[in-house]
Chain A
């Protein structure tokens, strides 16, 4: 087990290094991109350009620039935004992270509960009109662009139906920190949570239904029925339990992707100042260090999350350790 963890850890370090190099190259080495253009402001004098270049180390060779960038990003953590020189990149991300986590954790709870419930419901209702109906609804949920759904939700809850009793409780767009006012935090996030989770509810319901139908052909399910278990026990204890394995691993991956930047569109539409919103703001002003930092943050998070999932799996299933 320890050998497996060490091997996985070395793999993570290698991938993280490669990711940081690739990100750096995308932003600073693709021909024709001149970071000083966005750095020195509009119509800079040659002196300003030279000074800015020197300050950010842009007059040095690429490998040294890479090393400098990484040092300022991870060791001294004083990399500043190109747009607003008083804004430090790393603290800005740490300040935005709780917003992103608030959004995603809430949505994840909703989609896990509803996705599983609806998937099971579809299996129970198999053979009736309800099953295809549920699956069509799930498919529609998967097919809607999340930012568009968010806008429609805003239209209804902020404007058209805001004065009716159903949505009069919806606060204006924005975010209230949990530490400041938990109730307002909750109210502000309900609509974003639902919007973000709809896609995943549809997706999980479909995956779970398909898995359960697959598992229900297994021999041990026949055995369970043969030994006289109640249908309810067969469904929940034998079929559902084994079908959940895929869903759990999907859940880990989706959660990772969302934290890593997948929630960007939802954050933008609902004006939630999370990491995705920060990324969006910084690419509107072409703030390269900030974009690079948020992209790196995302990629690092995914890589580490994947490694953690692998280790947990290995702990649960010895066969993986030896592979």
Chain B
């Protein structure tokens, strides 16, 4: 019966505010680009995200030329100038009894804009440097995760049979672990070695950002693998693939020219949402002390530093959290816009 199965041509789908004349004769990619550019909230959130990325990667400029403060090494006995007066960064006589040491609070000047942490380091400069690490880990792990998942899904969905069962079962196994627990297990094992990792010629120091990046990428692979594999399986049965096969296309040609371009949109739509997820995961791991390691900073480690100062200098924990919320929120909004642009029919997640 299958050879008589007929799938009607999908109706032309218009995004709100579009007319047939406007979209006729345009390639799907150009169409998606147009739709995305018209989506104001998506573009605004992309701008916010890019602004945070730019500011974070400009961290050295801020700390060297604007704030002139220390972000990396402890600065417990340092001083700074506020309103022409020289004040200590770690001040004596804090707390209710007047005996504690508390770091300088927000000065609202370029130096120590939002205050210092327990070691006398400028929190704002740390937030920017930390943002660099957080974003780097978030973006690279999401890209790595999608790339691994895409390759595996293509192999599983295209060759089927044993390669599919082996890959799918392996993914099911990873899926059975709670994400955070798997990440914690891997991080506990990989980060706690004093001399770093040594695998053949590859040597990675434990403070390297690549350790959390790879861990986070690996734990999310099944989440991308599953939907993409399903798509590869269904595209493989489409008439145009059959036609290409009949025309004598090689497996490589089928994979790269027929199937890959069609699953790529799914992966592209997932990417911003994955970055949002990986940024949150990195923050959680670093908060627990098993993500980014000293002397590096990330938003998660700064929130962790701020926990001890929560009631005296709350901004230390609040500021990096706001950065996380802004990044994740803008990526979520942009991701929604991207999905609407590439596939107006798709359901809201």
- A interface residues with partner B (beta carbon < 8 Å): 15, 18-19, 22-23, 26-27, 30-33, 139-140, 142-145, 147-149, 151-152, 154-155, 158-160, 206-207, 209-211, 213-214, 257, 260-262, 264-265, 268, 279-280, 283-284, 286, 291, 294-295, 298-299, 302-303, 306
Contact = CB atoms under 8 A, between A and B. Distances in A.
Contacts of A209: 348
B329 A159 contact: no
B310 to A, nearest CB: 6
Contact of A159 (B197, B311, B321, B324): B311
Contacts of B314: 155, 160
Nearest to B186: A26
A154 B308 CA distance: 12
List 8 A-B pairs, minimum CB-CB distance, nearest first: A210-B348, A148-B321, A143-B328, A143-B329, A261-B181, A261-B178, A260-B178, A159-B311
A295 B177 contact: yes
Interface stretch (B15-23, B64-72, B285-293): B285-293
21 contacts: A27-B189, A31-B198, A143-B328, A143-B329, A147-B303, A148-B320, A151-B306, A151-B310, A151-B321, A155-B318, A158-B311, A206-B348, A206-B349, A209-B348, A210-B348, A210-B349, A261-B180, A264-B184, A298-B177, A299-B181, A302-B176
A113 to B, nearest CB: 22
Nearest to B172: A15
Nearest to B331: A143
Given A151-B317, A206-B349, A279-B181, A145 B188 contact: no
A307 to B, nearest CB: 11
A22 B193 CA distance: 20
Sorting the interface of chain B by its residue count into under 10, 10 to 19, 20 to 34 or 35 or more gives: 35 or more
B176 A32 contact: no
Given A142-B332, A295-B181, A280 B317 contact: no
A152 B173 contact: no
B325 interface: yes
Given A27-B185, A144-B325, A257 B178 contact: yes
A30 B178 contact: no
Contact of A140 (B176, B280, B310, B325): B325
B283 interface: yes
A151 B303 CA distance: 9
Contacts of B306: 151
Interface string B103-127: 0000000000000000000000000
Nearest to A38: B192
Contacts of A22: 173
Given A15-B173, A144-B321, 5 more contacts: A26-B186, A148-B303, A159-B310, A262-B180, A279-B181
B199 interface: yes
A149 B325 CA distance: 10
B307 interface: yes
A31 B199 contact: yes
Interface in B156-198: 172-173, 176-182, 184-186, 188-190, 192-193, 197-198
Contacts of A152: 317-318, 321
B333 interface: yes
A298 B199 CA distance: 30
A250 B198 CA distance: 41
B85 interface: no
Contacts, number: 141
Contacts of B328: 142-144
Contact of A283 (B184, B317, B318, B347): B184
Nearest to A149: B321
Nearest to A265: B284
Contacts of A291: 184-185, 188
Contacts of B348: 206-207, 209-210, 213
Contacts of B172: 15
B139 interface: no
A15 B176 contact: yes
Contact of A148 (B192, B324, B332): B324
B17 to A, nearest CB: 16
A209 B336 CA distance: 15
A291 B324 CA distance: 28
A147 B287 contact: yes
Contact of A139 (B181, B280, B320, B332): B332
B32 interface: no
Nearest to B188: A283
A284 B289 contact: yes
A283 B191 CA distance: 11
B233 to A, nearest CB: 15
B329 A139 contact: yes
Contacts of B320: 148
A19 B182 CA distance: 11
A147 B284 contact: yes
A226 B349 CA distance: 30
A83 to B, nearest CB: 13
Contacts of A140: 325, 329
B347 A264 contact: no
B303 A299 contact: no
B276 interface: yes
Q: Which of B179, B182, B188, B332 has the most CB of A within 10 A?
A: B188
A207 B349 contact: yes
Nearest to B170: A18
Nearest to A269: B307
Contacts of B180: 261-262, 264-265
A90 to B, nearest CB: 17
Contacts of A155: 310-311, 314, 317-318
